Amino acid sequence: MMAAATVAIAVQRNLFSVVILFGVYSFLMATVLVALDAVDVGMTEAAVGAGISTVLLLGTLYLARKEEMKPLHRPLLPLAVAVATVVVLAYGTLGLPAFSDPGAPIHVHVAPRYIQDGPRETGVPNIVTAVLASYRGYDTLGEVMVVFTAGAGIIALLRRRWNGKQKEKDR
Amino acid sequence: MRDFLVLRVVAKIMMAFMLLFALYVQFHGDFGPGGGFQAGVIAAAAIIFYAIIFGLPAARKVVPDRLVEAMVAAGVLLYASVGVAGMLLGGNYLDYFVLHADPVEGQHRGIFWIEAGVLITVAGVMLKVFYLFAGRPSEDEDGQ
C-alpha cells in the first residue's frame, strides 16, 4: 500500500491529491512504526506527518497554483541516480545483523545498562523517556535548540517579507 | 467553514478532548508512550484545528502572536535553566538528582521540567509556522 501511495504521488499531477496521498502515506508509515514497537515515533509521525504537515502543505497550496507544471527535461538521469542509490543501500543492508538479533552491536553496547539500571536510577518506567530526557539530556536540549532555530528562521524570513508587502501597499 | 453548524459544534467538543489528550501524553510520558514533542504537536494541532474551523482571527484571539513568539523562546530557556539549576545545586549541567533530597524524585522533577520546556517550544514553533503560512495573502489577492 505504501508503494502504491508513493507511485501515485509521483504520477499524480493534481497537487491537492498529492497532499492527501502524503497524509495517507504518513498514516501507513505510523502504522508500520507501531508494528515495529516504536509507539513514540509512530505517534509523532501521525501527528506531524499526517496532521500538521498536511495542513501546512494545504496552506501553501492555497498560495500557489493547483497543478504541477510539465517537467522540462526527461527524468532519465534522476531515475538512474535513484536506482543506483537503491542498489547501494540494498547492498548495505546485506552487512547488517539480522532483524531483532540479540547479538547485534547496538544491543550489547549501552542498551543493556539503560534497560537494567534505567528504572532504578530514574524511577521512570518508560525507557524511551528515561533515555531521551535523562541519559541523553544534552541531545534533547540540542533538538529543542534545532526546533527553536527553525522557528526563529521562519519568523525572520516570512514576517519581514509580509511586513514589507504591507508597507508597499500603504504607500 | 464558519457557516457549518455541525462542524462548529463538533469542533467545540473535540477541542477539549484534544487539549486533554495533549496533557495526558505530556504527563503520562513517564509511564506510557509520549512526551514533550508529541504533546506539543498535539496541542498545536488542536489550536490549528480551531483556526481552520473558526478562522485565523479567532485563533489569534485565543493564542495571540506575542504569546506564541514568547513560547518559542521560553521553552528553550526553561530547559536550559533546569540545567543551570542543577549546576547551582552542586551537580553537573543537566544533572537532575540534585534537584531533590531523593535522587529518583530529583530525576522525576528534572524530567518533568525539561519535558515542559520541550512542549512549550514545539507547540510555539508549530503554531508560529502555521500562523505565518496561513496569514499570508494568496498570490491572486496580492497581485493587484
Looking at chain B, how many residues does it have? 144
Residue A151 contacts B where some CB pair is shorter than 8 Å: yes
Residue B52, C-beta contacts closer than 8 angstroms, at least 6 positions apart: A55, B1
Please judge whether B25 and A154 are an interchain contact, meaning their C-beta atoms are less than 8 angstroms apart: no
Give me the pLDDT at residue A106, please. Answer: 66
SS3 annotation, B84-118: HHHHHCCCCCCCCHHHCCCHHHHHHHHHHHHHHHH
pLDDT tens per residue across span B10-40: 888 888 888 888 888 887 766 666 677 888 8
Q: Is the pLDDT of residue B143 over 60?
A: no
Does the CB of A126 have a partner CB in chain B at under 8 Å? yes
Cβ of B102 under 8 Å from any chain A Cβ? no
Instruction: Quickly tell me which residue has 514553533 as its cell.
Output: B125
Cβ separation A129–B104 shorter than 8 A: no
Per-residue pLDDT tens for A52-106?
Answer: 888 888 877 777 766 666 666 677 888 899 899 999 998 888 877 776 666 666 6
Contact criterion met (CB < 8 Å) for B107 and A134: yes
To the nearest whole Å, the CA of B93 is away from the closest chain A CA by: 9
Q: Report the alpha-carbon distance of residue B68 to residue B121 in Å, rounded.
A: 9
Question: Which ipTM was obtained for this model?
Answer: 0.72
Find all residues with CB under 8 Å of A138, minimum gap 6, and list them.
B94
Q: Are B44 and B93 in contact (CB under 8 A)?
A: no
Domain ranges of chain B: 5-136
DSSP B7-67: HHHHHHHHHHHHHHHHHHHHHTTTTSS--HHHHHHHHHHHHHHHHHHH-HHHHHHHS-HHH
CB contact under 8 A, A47 and B45: yes
A155 vs B128: CB contact, 8 Å cut-off? yes
Residue in B104, B134, B135 nearest the CB of A123 = B104
